Amino acid sequence: MMRRPQRRRTLVATLTVAIAGALAWSDDAHAADDERGRPWARGTWTIGGGPGLGFGGDVTHLHLELGGRYFVVHGLALGLSLADTILFYSQSLKAEFPGINKRLPTNVFRLVPHLQYVFFRNQWFSPYVLAGVGPAFMNHGSGTHGYWRAMPGAYIGLGRSGVFLDIGIQFDGMFPVGRCIDAITDESSGAYPGGLCSFGWGPHIGIVGTFGGRGQSRRSRSTAPPSNPLPREVEPPPEPAPAVPPEPPPPAEPLPAVTPGEPMPSVPSEPPPPGPDDAMPPGPVPSEPPPPAGPTPAPDAAPEAGPSAPEPTSPPIRPPLH
């Protein structure tokens, strides 16, 4: 009796191809930071992905994914991921049920638009959350189904090359679950590949490269010489004018020598300048009124002359003695 394939248990990422592409990433395609120097700024584009492996009881899953995102604002991006899961059935299962690999799906292609928010933007560690929903297409007539995914993760910067290591834990599944299981169940054996329709989870590891942006690029910021805050041509400051010593006051005129006992000679003073009252008013000078007409008064009598003082006499001149 056929054993029913068990649910996918682990997902181991193999990053050989992704890492090789990241190491070859051009230095000229660096993303730009915002005005504060933080990554994941508005206008930044990202592209990345990587392969992965999942194991079940009788089925092995090879998972290939490639996705791109555009940051419409700082930290918030709209993205689209393309994923293809290839199912490999074990030889024992194909030997027990011949042709089962032609009746059950061997390829599941997913086209998932998603929304991502980087809530802490840093060059070395930037945690984020991601959620998306889209269609899943199965081959061998298994139809189209709904697919959802949600993932918390983080970007770890690999230097300043614009390349980040993308790690996280992915949760996903198909819906409606019952319709999906009916579509992938083998009618003859009742078996179906596990891990496709039901809820699943597993580690996620990938490589992401960034480019674009509207701020200053990391490369130009790291290689540009420091800006000079002074003008390019600085004029030398003007030389100070030599100090002029103040002129000494004129020496005072010496006072005349005074002999003890003699009075202090008086210094003639200059007459004061004429005041406004001393100025003659303009116009004709008024004349004195004539005296009134009348008898002429008699002249007063001359005072009597008294005895006159004797005139001083000079002493007689004596002849010189020989």
- pLDDT for 125-183, tens place per residue? 999 999 999 999 999 999 999 999 999 999 999 988 889 999 999 999 999 999 999 98
Residue 6 has a pLDDT of 38
Length of the chain: 322
Residues 6+ apart with CB under 8 A from 320: none
Measured over the CA atoms of residue 182, residue 187, residue 189 and residue 192, the dihedral's sign is negative
Q: What is the mean pLDDT of residues 236-262?
A: 69
pLDDT > 70 fraction of the chain, expressed in percent and rounded: 60
Residue 58 CB partners (closer than 8 Å, separation 6+) = 3, 5, 6, 89, 90, 92, 93
| Cα–Cα distance measured from residue 150 to residue 105, given in angstroms and rounded to the nearest whole number | 24
Q: How far is CA 202 from CA 152, 205, 282, in A?
A: 12, 10, 121
Which range among 29-38, 72-81, 162-171, 274-283 shows the weakest confidence by mean pLDDT?
Answer: 274-283
313 confidence band (pLDDT: 50, 70, 90): low
| Torsion, Cα of 30, 33, 37, 42 (10° steps) | -160
Q: How does residue 52 score in pLDDT terms, banded at 50, 70 and 90?
A: confident
CATH of 10-223, one of 3.40.30.10, 1.10.357.10, 3.30.930.10, 2.40.160.20: 2.40.160.20
CA dist 285 and 305 (Å) reads 43
* Predicted pLDDT at 85: 92
* Backbone phi, psi, residue 173, to 5°: 175, 170
pTM strictly above 0.75:
no
List, for residues 7-51, the tens digit of each pLDDT value: 333 333 444 444 444 444 444 445 567 778 899 999 999 999 988
Residue 45 vs residues 32, 73, 109, 133, 151: alpha-carbon distances, Å:
10, 12, 24, 21, 20
Chain position carrying tokens 């805050």 = 229
* Residue 32, pLDDT score: 63
Euclidean distance between CA atoms 64 and 54, whole angstroms: 11
- Enumerate the β-bridge partners of residue 84: 64, 109
Question: Is the predicted pLDDT of residue 288 greater than 80, yes or no?
Answer: no
Q: Is the pLDDT of residue 246 over 90?
A: no
Please choose, from the candidates 316, 52, 84, 48, the residue with its C-alpha nearest in 3D space to the C-alpha of residue 204: 52
Q: pLDDT per residue over 186-224, tens digit each?
A: 888 888 877 788 888 888 999 999 988 655 445 444 455
Pick the most confident of 131-135, 185-189, 239-243, 272-276: 131-135
Q: Could you read off the pLDDT of 82-114 as tens digits, one per residue? A: 999 999 988 988 888 898 889 999 999 999 999
255 pLDDT more than 70: no
Residue 274: its pLDDT value, please?
60
Q: How far apart are CA 86 and CA 134, in angstroms?
A: 18
Q: What is the pLDDT of residue 14?
A: 42
Tell me, what's the pLDDT at 53?
A: 78
